[in-house]
Amino acid sequence: MELLQSLSKLTPEERKAEVRRQMRVELKAVEMEHIPTAALETLANRKTAEVRETLQSMQKDRLSVGHWVEKYQQNHEKKREKRRLKAEAQRAKYIASRSHGPQPSLLNFRL
């Protein structure tokens, strides 16, 4: 409203110049608002990319660690099975040696 009242007092050339000046001022204000926003968007995009890269590397590390944990568990299971088989073999050997040796009787225990 202010602009219209002030423009009505001016000549047509002055009105054109004033309108252009006002447009430049408004455009400059819009640009000044856009500059920090654009900088923030760029910064946010950069941070997002960094976070995404970090997450991807963490996932790769987790997969790598998972691989080694799985390998450790497999080796542990193999060793456990080997020990179990060895213990069974020793027990079978012990039982076989007892069955061929002297047989304990109840009389031997009473004395």
Q: Which of 13, 21, 27 is nearest to 3 (CA)?
A: 21
Token pair for residue 56? 């991807």
Q: Which residue has the higher pLDDT, 8 or 28?
A: 28
By three-state DSSP, how is residue 104 classified? coil
* pLDDT value, residue 52: 93
Distance CA 15, CA 20 (A): 8
Each residue of 11-23: pLDDT tens digit? 888 888 888 888 9
Predicted TM-score of the model (pTM): 0.37
Q: Is the pLDDT of residue 30 over 70?
A: yes
* pLDDT value, residue 19: 86
Find out whether 22 and 3 touch, Cβ atoms under 8 Å. Answer: yes
What DSSP character marks residue 105?
-
Each residue of 62-104: pLDDT tens digit? 778 778 888 899 999 999 999 999 999 999 888 888 766 566 6
Residue bearing tokens 């970090």: 54
Distance CA 4, CA 68 (A): 77
